[in-house]
Chain A
Amino acid sequence: MRAYLTYLSKRLVQFAVVVFVGINITYLVTHMTPINPVEQSISAATAYGATSPEAIEMMRQSLRQLYGLEGSPWEQYVSFWKRVLVGDFGPSLSAFPTPVSQLILRALPWTVGLLLVSTLLTWFLGNLLGGLAGYYRNSRILKAFGVLSMGLHPIPYYVVAFVLLIIFGFLWPVLPISGGATMASDRSNTPAFMLDVAVHSILPVLSLMAVGIGGWFMGMRSLVSNIVTEDYVVYAELAGVKRSKILQSYVMRNALGPQVTGLALQLGAIFNGAIITEQVFGYPGVGSLLISAVHAGDYSLVLGITTVSIVAVSATVLLIDLLYPLIDPRVEAR
């Protein structure tokens, strides 16, 4: 228990550092600019359609605070943090006067759902097949799968999603290529709607899996092929333990630890991939929101999404780290 508490406090400190440094980076990035971002954003946001003077004044004030242009540098820094900590990014400029937090909350479930399904599937399948490939080294099917997933692995998310879009949008149009659900559908939790959502998520999930699975496969395969030469595995084989049991409890279980740590380390990159994939397929999540916010010149929304992504990803990493002792109880060793 004592060891777990030390481990816990270390992880919490690391979480705080990640959020602190991450938010400082966004602060630095937004303060490096030589141009006046406030007036630029306002003119970009009000370019289409008339906005009342009071609304513009409100925008200007919240923008000045968000950009941190009021008061001394220290006061600017503090007021920036205050807004970030309470999650108040002011009203969105492109969807005025809806608060930014509300827009993000509306988009977040789509992204979380997409990420959860694709990451779990990718990780599970990649590790399972990789483990089998490392244990049954002469299987032709697994070798072929290895070559295929290795070929897809280095290609960036955008290109894979784009190629899938071309195949299923133009060459063989059988799957919906855009949106999270059919437009004017009844959005209550009926089975029909669920099915619709599931069908719409096939292509985004597939493209995330296509890129991701190779890394887990290769990692697991090399871990397992190292473990099978260990003495205790050889001993278990000589003692006549069933091969399926050796694979499950002797080999895979030991290889799982590094792969869970790997998942925590990869999460940021997977999140980047999801953002881009959403944009390609017009999926109504945070990624699409971010890109459209940039095109609309909506500074508060862009800043809000950046900050929320940093906090959300590092919180998930923390969660994985906290669950890690369930898989590998030897936390003191780390």
Chain B
Amino acid sequence: MSTLKILRDLFRYNGEFAIGLVLVLVVLAVAVCSFFSPYPPMDVYVVPPDVPPSWEYPLGTTSRGQDVFWQLTFAIRNTLLFGIVVAVLSRIISLAVGLISGYKGGWVDRVLMSINDTFVVIPLFPILVLFYFIMRDQMSWVMLAVITALLGWAYDARLIRSIAMSLRTREFTRQAVFSGMGTGKIVLQEHLPFVLPIVFSTTMNNINWSIGIEVTLSVLGFTDINTPTIGGMIYWANQHTALVSGIWWWITFPVVLVIMLFIGLFLLAISMNEYIDPRSRLSRLGGQA
């Protein structure tokens, strides 16, 4: 079945997938709007401050004289990009660790999984805060993405390992070994395709996780606050005590948009998981599992 046809079927028969896809597409559309913004993202006092939502400014303006809508387009674009960069980087680590650990077994597996479990267990937030504390003004967007990726791969590596372990005992693997394929080649050519679907669904969850980290850190002011992000917007709104002074639109719209993104990605992830697991797909169609 072609990928397009799968997507069409998912959209038609799986409500969660349909809602998730629509939510994510709306958020993406807002992000794309940033390319048509009449104002540069960092300029302040380009519009009259504190104007409530109106025809001229559909989502109102901030106390810093920025149009909330256009500001939001840049913020969601950067936030999304952050999530995707972290997800891609951490996918590479978790694929490498998971596939090698699952295929090699033995002491390689034990060492890698000990390290893996450490990253699962230790509280990462204090470490990120410590990192910000040391870097202070040198903290950049790219650096935060790299460090978040370095901390956020472990949970999925275990998942990938469990699949790789079952692949190891399959006959095609044995055949590949007997025909003289090396470890790297077997893992990349024979095993990688089997884990890709699950990697895809964990990507969504990982994007959610890393965006959550980014929003939290920047709301506290622990990131480069000069790059507009969703957390950065809430940070500036808090700095201007927007809620107390009744500028609710400055806070509400970023929060609503990012919640849409979280729920959208999460629904995509679980519907994809369900698609991968044939038992639950069967029960959806009314069969016996």
B137 — nearest CB in chain A belongs to which residue? A35
Q: Which of A280-334 contact B (CB under 8 A)?
A: 290-291, 294, 299, 302-303, 305-306, 309-310, 313-314, 317
Task: Verify A291–B121 contact, CB threshold 8 A.
Answer: no
Interface residues on chain B, size class? 35 or more
Task: Verify B117–A25 contact, CB threshold 8 A.
Answer: no
Task: Verify A156–B129 contact, CB threshold 8 A.
Answer: no
A321 to B168, CA, bound (A): 29
Measured CB to CB, the residues of B under 8 A from A are 114-115, 117-118, 120-127, 129-136, 138, 155, 208, 211-213, 215-216, 219-220, 222, 234, 243, 251, 255, 258-259, 262-263, 265-266, 270, 280, 289
Chain B contacts of A268 at CB under 8 A? 120-124
A170 to B243, CA, bound (A): 8
Number of A residues near B (Cβ < 8 Å) is 55
- A236 near B: Cβ within 8 Å? no
A273 — nearest CB in chain B belongs to which residue? B125
Q: Are A154 and B123 CB-contacts (below 8 A) given A14-B117, A29-B130, A279-B220?
A: no
Besides the known contacts A21-B122, A275-B123, A290-B129, 7 further A-B residue pairs in the complex with CB atoms under 8 A apart: A30-B130, A33-B135, A35-B136, A156-B211, A291-B220, A309-B123, A314-B122
A231 to B264, CA, bound (A): 37
Chain B contacts of A166 at CB under 8 A? 243, 251
Nearest CB in chain B: distance from A76 CB, A: 16
- A109 near B: Cβ within 8 Å? no
Chain B contacts of A150 at CB under 8 A? 266, 270
Task: Verify A158–B123 contact, CB threshold 8 A.
Answer: no
Chain B contacts of A162 at CB under 8 A? 219, 234, 255
Task: Verify B289–A265 contact, CB threshold 8 A.
Answer: no
Task: Verify A265–B121 contact, CB threshold 8 A.
Answer: yes
Task: Verify A18–B118 contact, CB threshold 8 A.
Answer: yes
Q: Which of A232-272 contact B (CB under 8 A)?
A: 264-265, 267-269, 271-272
State the 3 A-B residue pairs at the shortest beta-carbon distance, nearest first: A156-B212, A154-B266, A272-B125
Task: Verify A154–B134 contact, CB threshold 8 A.
Answer: no
A165 — nearest CB in chain B belongs to which residue? B243
- A153 near B: Cβ within 8 Å? yes
Q: Are A158 and B215 CB-contacts (below 8 A) given A29-B130, A272-B124?
A: yes
Chain A contacts of B270 at CB under 8 A? 150, 218
Of A34, A157, A163, A309, the residue contacting B126 (CB under 8 A) is: A309
A271 to B126, CA, bound (A): 10
Task: Verify B122–A310 contact, CB threshold 8 A.
Answer: yes
Interface string of A132-161 (1 = CB under 8 A from B): 000000000000000000110111111100
Q: Are A155 and B117 CB-contacts (below 8 A) given A294-B129, A306-B126?
A: no
Nearest CB in chain B: distance from A136 CB, A: 16
Nearest CB in chain A: distance from B239 CB, A: 13
Chain A contacts of B129 at CB under 8 A? 290-291, 294, 302, 306
Task: Verify A26–B130 contact, CB threshold 8 A.
Answer: yes
A291 to B130, CA, bound (A): 10
Of A30, A265, A271, the residue contacting B123 (CB under 8 A) is: A271
Q: Are A151 and B127 CB-contacts (below 8 A) given A14-B114, A159-B215, A268-B120?
A: no
Task: Verify B134–A33 contact, CB threshold 8 A.
Answer: yes
Nearest CB in chain B: distance from A41 CB, A: 9
Task: Verify A275–B126 contact, CB threshold 8 A.
Answer: yes
Chain A contacts of B212 at CB under 8 A? 156-159
Chain A contacts of B115 at CB under 8 A? 17, 21
- A99 near B: Cβ within 8 Å? no
- A22 near B: Cβ within 8 Å? yes
A158 to B125, CA, bound (A): 12
Task: Verify B265–A154 contact, CB threshold 8 A.
Answer: yes
Of B215, B255, B265, the residue contacting A163 (CB under 8 A) is: B255
Task: Verify A158–B219 contact, CB threshold 8 A.
Answer: yes
Nearest CB in chain B: distance from A333 CB, A: 16
A55 to B124, CA, bound (A): 33
Chain B contacts of A29 at CB under 8 A? 127, 130-131, 134
Nearest CB in chain A: distance from B129 CB, A: 6
Nearest CB in chain B: distance from A172 CB, A: 14
A40 to B124, CA, bound (A): 25
A153 to B209, CA, bound (A): 11
Chain A contacts of B122 at CB under 8 A? 18, 21-22, 25, 268, 310, 313-314
Which of A35, A157, A272 has the most chain B CB atoms inside 10 A of its CB?
A272
Chain B contacts of A30 at CB under 8 A? 130, 134
- A176 near B: Cβ within 8 Å? no
Chain B contacts of A265 at CB under 8 A? 120-121, 155
User: What are 17 sample pairs from A and B whose C-beta atoms fall under 8 A apart?
Assistant: A17-B115, A18-B121, A18-B122, A33-B134, A35-B136, A150-B270, A154-B263, A154-B265, A154-B266, A155-B259, A159-B215, A166-B243, A272-B126, A290-B126, A302-B129, A302-B130, A310-B122
Chain B contacts of A32 at CB under 8 A? 134
A154 to B123, CA, bound (A): 18
